[in-house]
Amino acid sequence: MKTNFVKRLLAFLILAAMMSSVCCAAEDTAPSVKCYNGTFVGMRENGIASFKGIPYAKPPIGELRWKAPEPVEADDGTYDATHFGKSAIQLKASSELASMNPEGQSEDCLTLNIWTADLEKKNKPVMFWIHGGAYSYGGTSDPLYDGQYLVAEHPDILLVSCNYRVGPMGFIDFSKVEGGENFPTSGYNGLLDQIQALKWVQQNIEAFGGDPENVTIFGESAGGGSVTELLIADGTEGLFQRAIAESGAVNFTMTHERFAEIGVAQKFLEKANGVCMDDLMALSETELTEIYLDESDGQAIGAMSVLPLRGEDSILPDDPYQALLDGAGKDVDLIIGTTADEMRYFIDDVCEPALADTEGEEYERLLQTKLELFGKYVTGAKVDRVYSMCTAEEKENLDRFLALHADEEEIWAKTALMNEYSFRAPAIMTAYNHAMSGGSGKTYMYHFRKKNTNYDWIGACHACELSYVFHNLTDEQFSGKVVPELADAVCGAWASFAVNGVPVIDGIEWPEYSPDNRETLIFNDDCSISVENDPKSEERQLIETILHYYVAM
C-alpha cells in the first residue's frame, strides 16, 4: 500500500522539478504584471496564470530580525515569478510539505503567490489564503494549497496566498529579556506579516485584475485563528470585507504570563549561550537555524508551542471574545466552522514515520504505538491541564461532558472533550459574539462531518475539508478520497461568499447564524447537506463555562 503522504511528496517533487526547468518564457506568452516593487513574470498552468514568490515586505533579516515587517521599496526591475519563495524556518513535518520546500527555508520568507484565469478581466473578488501549521509550521508551497484548481473551477475569483514568519521567529515574547524593549512586536510579528501582505494586495492587486475593495481572507487551523484575530486586531480596517475561519478561533492566543510559563525566550538564550538580545541578533542565519532546530536535548525551540500575544503591548485585546461582542469586526461578513473529529489529526503526528508510509503488520504495530502515545497525550497533558485550571463546579461540568460519552473508549471520550474545548466551542462563541455585535456583517456557521475514507481511526479530522475547499480532487492525505460533488458544493459556497457575502449551494439555503437559533450548516458523512439548530447543545453549554481560560490546546 503506497501512502497518500508519499504520493503528495512525489507530486510535490515533480512540481518542483517542473518549475525548476521553467525559464522565463518568451515575452509574448509568459504572463507579466507590473507592480510597485517590480514587474513579475509568471507562468501558465493548465490555462491558469500564476505568479509565485513575490516579495511583499523587506526581508526580515539583519537589523529587521524579530522586527515588524517593513513595506517593499519601489522597483523598476523585472523578476522571475515561477517559483515559490522559501518557507519560513521550521522543523520538518510529514504533515506539512512546505517544511520540505525544495526552495529551502530562510528568514527571508515574506512572499506571496497569485493565481488568476484572466489578467484582462477587472474587479475580480480576491480570496486571500492564510496557511495553518500551529503557528509553527507550514507554508504556501504545499500542493494542497495549489490555487489553480479553485480558480479553474471559479475563474471570476483571484486567489492570493502568503507566507509569514512562524514559530518563535514570528511569535515570541522578549519582554523579559535584556534588550527586549527594542523588539516590541516580537509576540505577534507573524500577524503583522499577514497585515503587510494585505496592504501589498491593496496597493497592487488591481494590476492583476483584482478588486482591492472586495477581499475575503480565509484560513485553516492557525490560519483560521489568524483570520479571527485579524477581525479584532488594530490596523486592519479596510483591508478585507469578508472572512472564513476554518478550525481556528480567537482562543489561539497567549498572554505574557503564558509565554513566561513556556519559557521559549529563555530556551532560545540558553541554546545560544546568550544573556541578552544582542547575543541573539549577533547570530548568523546559519547559526540561528541550527539552534532553532536543534533537538539534541529532546526539545527543539521550533517545536515549542507559541501563539500570538494578546493583551498588553499587543495589537490584540486582552479579551478577544469581548472585543467581538463590543463590535470589533462587526461589519465584516464571517463564515466559521470546525470538523467533527479535529483532534484525531494529531494521532499521526505523535511520532515518525507517517502511518501512510507503512503497510501490513508494520502498519498495525505503528498504529497501536501511535494510539498509545496519543492516548497519553490527550488523556494526560491536555485534559489534565484543562482540569487543573478549573474550579470545582467547572470540573463537574467536564465530568458531565465525559459522561455523555460513557459508551466510548476513554481515549475517544477525552478526544471529544478536546475537540470541543480547543475548536468547536471557541468557534461557536466567536460566531455568537459576532452575530450579537449589531454590525452589518453577516454570520454563517458550518460543521464538517465527512470522514476520511482511507483510515477509520482518523474520522473527519482537522484539515479534512481542505481538499474540498481548494477543489483539489487528488490530495487525499486528510480527506481520503474526495467526492467531486461535495467539492463542488464546498468550493462553490466559499467562492460565492467571496463574491457578495452569501454562501450559495444549489438546492440548499444556508441560513445566517442567529443567537436565538444557532443555525449551523452540516456537511454530512454521506455527502448530504442539512441544517441543524444548535447541534450538540448540551456539550456546547458545558464547555462554554471554561472558555475564559483561552488556552488553545
Q: Point out the residues that are catalytic.
A: 221, 342, 462
Contacts 24+ apart (CB under 8 A), 451-456: 451/340, 451/341, 451/480, 451/525, 452/478, 452/479, 452/480, 453/480, 453/481, 454/4, 454/480, 454/481, 455/355, 455/480
- Distance CA(472)–CA(482), nearest Å, equals 8
What are the cell numbers at 159? 486567489
Secondary structure letter of residue 169 according to DSSP? G
**Total Cβ atoms within 10 A of residue 183:** 21
Sign of CA dihedral 492, 493, 495, 499: positive
CB atoms within 10 A of CB 253: 27
Q: How far apart are CA 483 and CA 56, in angstroms?
A: 36
Q: Which residues of 452-462 are buried (b: 16+ CB within 10 A; e: fewer)?
A: bebbebbbbbb
Helices (H), strands (E): how many in the chain? 17, 14
**Cα–Cα dist 427/337, whole Å:** 6
Cα–Cα distance between 313 and 175 in angstroms, integer? 9
- Quick check: 352 and 261 in contact, CB under 8 A? no
Question: By the 8 A CB rule, do 245 and 428 touch?
Answer: no
Residues linked to residue 178 through DSSP beta bridges, in sequence order: 276
In whole angstroms, what is the distance from residue 318 CA to residue 321 CA? 9
SS3 (DSSP) at 31: coil
